[in-house]
């Protein structure tokens, strides 16, 4: 039932954006009573945090799998993230990214979660060889992903692959310090 409600919340966010997310809209979309949504998610804020948490958890799981598969690369943490970034950003990803953007300034729990996620990524870049090169490549990847997630630009599959390969090359060619 909780997944059904979060699925409905994703559909509402896709249709109406984060501002259109309401307990009533989600209940109607899920075909359940408002009290059912409130029972599972005490407020609109809690519902939004649960939705974002689910998407971020899925993203982090995908990233962890890609990192494990990149264990034999120059920098598994970086190259795994690059591999995970190869997938096309879909409309749900974009809608949730916009919801995060709209909510992060007034949702302290979400802001804290995003800071922790970023700090973990930055620490992972330090942990491997050539930490300065990894940091620069990670920042390039982050900019590329933000541009994609927020729909500022769409790259076709070939362009996407070329850009990600360029970021790998940035890391590989960067001088050791």
Domains and CATH numbers, the chain: 2-173 (1.10.357.10)
The dihedrals phi and psi of 25, each to the nearest 5 degrees, come to -65, -40
Question: Which run of H or of E encompasses 90?
Answer: none
Question: Which run of H or of E encompasses 84?
Answer: helix 76-84
Indicate yes or no: pTM above 0.85: no
| Nearest of 30, 23, 29 to residue 45 by alpha carbon | 23
- Residue 119 corresponds to which tokens in the numbers above? 């700090």
d(CA 110, CA 129): 31
Q: 33 pLDDT band (50/70/90 cuts)? A: very high
Contact (Cβ atoms closer than 8 angstroms) between residue 78 and residue 174: no
d(CA 80, CA 149): 18
More confident residue, 17 or 87: 87
**pLDDT (0 to 100) of residue 54:** 86
Average the pLDDT over 122-147 and give the result.
Answer: 95
**pLDDT (0 to 100) of residue 27:** 94
């Amino acid at each position: 039932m909780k997944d059904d409600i979060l699925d409905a919340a994703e559909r509402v966010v896709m249709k109406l954006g984060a501002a259109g997310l309401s307990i009533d809209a989600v209940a109607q979309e899920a075909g359940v009573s408002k009290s059912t949504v409130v029972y599972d998610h005490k407020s609109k804020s809690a519902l939004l945090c649960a939705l974002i948490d689910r998407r971020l958890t899925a993203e982090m799981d995908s990233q962890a799998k890609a990192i494990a598969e990149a264990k034999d690369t120059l920098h598994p943490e970086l190259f795994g993230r690059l591999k995970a970034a190869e997938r096309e950003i879909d409309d749900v990803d974009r809608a949730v990214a916009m919801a995060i953007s709209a909510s992060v300034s007034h949702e302290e729990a979400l802001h804290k979660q995003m800071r922790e996620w970023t700090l973990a990524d930055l620490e992972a870049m330090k942990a491997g060889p050539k930490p300065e090169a990894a940091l620069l490549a990670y920042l390039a990847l982050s900019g590329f992903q933000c541009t994609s997630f927020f729909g500022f630009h769409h790259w076709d599959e070939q362009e996407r692959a070329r850009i990600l390969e360029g970021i790998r090359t940035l890391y590989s060619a960067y001088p050791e310090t």
